[in-house]
Amino acid sequence: MKYKSNIKKYVVSESSPNMTSSEVDYVVKSIGAFGTWQAIICIISMSARSILIWNIASILFLTSTTKFRCLKFRDKPDVIEDSTCYKSCLEYEYYNDVFKSNIISEFGLICEKSWLASLVQTVLMFGVLIGVAVTGWISDRFGRQIAIILSGVISVVFTIASSFTTDIWSFTGLRFIVGLGSGGIMATTIVIILEVVGPEHKEFAGGASILGDGISQSVLAICAYYASTWNIYILSYAILSLLILIPIIFLPETPRWLVANRQSDKAIKLMTTVANLNKLNTDDIKENVTKCIKDIEDKQKEPLKTTFMDLFRTKELALTTVNSVIIWTIGGVSYFGINQYVTVLGTSNLYLVVVISGLVQIPATLVGMMFNKMFGRKISSLIAFVSIGVSMTILIFIPDDHWASTVFALAGLIAATILFAVIYVQANELFPTPLRNMGFGVSSAGAKVGAMLAPFIVNLHPHWIASMVFAVLPFIAAGFTLTLTETKGVKLKDTID
């Protein structure tokens, strides 16, 4: 009776309007579109992103606004003002509303050293960028399993180590390594999720992979609230990261990667175990895998040893790669640039600001998931980019301190979040399995470049110039979205044509 019930569900999946019976994915045939096993894999992968979010967003509290005052002078001036640098000052004292000591007060990052506080985050994001690209190659060449485990271990171990540093240069160096691991988590989790679920669930599974980001950011505010110093704060979320790392270590390889790399015995064994867990018939698994591997061998005589140059192997792949990178770069500029408007929420409570900016992304992600399901990737990303552009265009004509700026800044942030819920799925569907992680890695690296450019754009003066840049770029990106292939309901490719 159990098998009959599951077969009935399978036939419904098979009759999808976007897929004929001959095109039904071999993974769906063998282990189902979504079951207990897929749910477990998705939850673990979603949790892994908390490590990434905590490392990136932690800077909000590590370099929180810090006032200082000179305590001891070589030649005391007539007037002493707070947060003012004096060449004759021998010792400063510090004040901030978050910790007794943050990295600014701990390492004296004021006056001529103030730029080092920004450098810390720049170096971390550069590490993320490199980590996304390198781990994408590792994942496609050696497997998703080793890539995510390696990334998680590197990130957690060096996060813990950074809490014990005694100088800014050691701390910055360790933050780069933490960024490498964090970038690896970003590059791998979404690929794992999309490779284990059926086509009819990809929109929601892909969106759900980033759904927890806002919650993770809120948890970070709680860690900061109960920590007394910056190193205790880092250690607290590092311990939480360690707890998340434990199930990551037990993640299996994805069946799709095993089949694409012709490891038939491992694929059959894993898929049989999964099918049993999902209460599905296992009789046809060997036949499904054998047939799929034969089809791959007919197209590719030898297993591919892929490199990043393969992303430009064909004209179609090259155009897809370039256009995807442009879309992600402008998306990164828009998202991180609009985040600068969080300060107009009208509160000086940093904990509240971080929580609000995180929670507002949860409904936005849900909307992105629904857009993906209803309209597909191209129309959804087009709507998101146009919405960002319209919001930023209106901001050109609104003073910074006006209440309406908050409304349209939040509208832009919501639209940017919707965009990422869409393109996270799209970027993984555009590339074949042997290049999927590298394709996603290169694309998402564009967002990191955008994150580095955004602060420079925000600081452009007068006000309308920065707003105009943020308004124009999304409309340009909207044009590039129309050049990409619609991938909604299309079976993931396992070969490079």
Output the furthest CA–CA distance in the chain (Å, rounded).
90
CA distances to 121, 125, 177, 222, 279 from 157, in Å = 19, 18, 10, 22, 38
Task: Say how far apart CA 62 and CA 231 lie, in whole Å.
Answer: 9
Together in a domain, 127 and 236: yes
Whether residues 169 and 278 share a domain: the answer is yes
User: In 209-314, where does DSSP find H-type helix?
Assistant: 213-226, 230-249, 255-260, 264-277, 285-299
User: Residue 34: which of 282, 288, 274, 367 has the closest Cα?
Assistant: 274
Burial 311-333 (b: 16+ CB within 10 A, else e): beeeeebeebbebbbbbbbbbbb
- What CATH number does the domain containing 389 carry? 1.20.1250.20
Same domain (yes/no): 373, 484:
yes
Same domain, 125 and 138: yes
Q: Are 416 and 472 found together in one domain?
A: yes
**Boundary-marking domain end, from 275, 301, 327:** 301
Asked if residue 197 lies in contact with residue 34, where contact means CB atoms within 8 angstroms, the answer is yes
**Mean pLDDT along residues 473-492:** 87
Q: Of 69, 73, 99, 64, which is closest to residue 83 (Cα–Cα)? A: 69
- Residue 455: how many other CB atoms lie within 10 Å: 14
- Which is more confidently placed, 97 or 48? 48
19 domain-assigned: no
Is 17 a member of any domain?
no
Distance CA 484, CA 428 (A): 13
The better pLDDT of the pair 289, 401 is held by 289
Whether residues 268 and 397 share a domain: the answer is no
Q: Does residue 75 lie within any of the structural domains?
A: yes
Torsion of CA 480, 484, 489, 494, to 10 degrees: -140
The amino acid sitting at 87 is: K
> pLDDT of 304-317, one tens digit each?
567 778 888 888 88
Last residue of a domain, one of 301, 322, 341: 301
Secondary structure of residue 89 in the 3-state scheme: strand
Contact 392, 286 (CB under 8 A): no
Residue (of 139, 145, 143, 141) closest to 250 by Cα position: 145
Residues 183, 249 within the same domain? yes
Is 3 a member of any domain?
A: no
Determine contact, residues 427/324, Cβ cutoff 8 Å: yes
Angle subtended at Cα 445 by Cα 474 and Cα 48, rounded to the nearest 5 degrees: 110
What confidence tens digit (pLDDT) does each residue in 377-432 have? 899 999 999 999 999 899 888 776 677 777 788 888 899 999 988 998 888 788 88
Question: Same domain, yes or no, for 155 and 290?
Answer: yes
The answer to whether residue 5 is domain-embedded is no
Domain of residue 89, residue span: 67-115
**CA dihedral over 218, 221, 227, 232, signed as positive or negative:** positive
Give burial (CB, 10 Å; 0-12/13-18/19+) of 366.
middle
String of DSSP letters for 128-152: HHHHHHHHHHHHHHH-HHHHHHHHH
One domain, residues 354 and 251: no
pLDDT digits (tens, 9 = 90+) for 73-105: 888 787 788 888 888 888 888 888 888 888 998
Nearest to 431 by CA among 372, 379, 494: 494
* Same domain for 313 and 292: no
Does some domain include residue 15?
A: no
Q: Which of 248, 275, 301 is the endpoint of a domain? A: 301
| Domain assignment of residue 42, yes or no | yes
Identify the band that residue 454 occupies on the pLDDT scale cut at 50, 70 and 90. confident
Tell me the average pLDDT of the chain. Answer: 83
Same domain, 92 and 128: no
Number of folded domains that form the chain: 3
CB neighbours of 428 closer than 8 A, spacing ≥ 6?
190, 191, 194, 206, 436, 439, 440
What are 153-190's pLDDT values in tens digits?
999 999 999 999 999 999 999 999 999 999 999 888 88
Tell me: pLDDT of 109 over 50.
yes
Whether 16 maps to a domain, the answer reads no
Work out the average pLDDT over 222-231: 91
State mean pLDDT over 468-481: 93
The span from the CA of 179 to the CA of 295, in Å, is: 39
Tokens of 264: 């038939």
Residues 171 and 193 grouped into a single domain:
yes
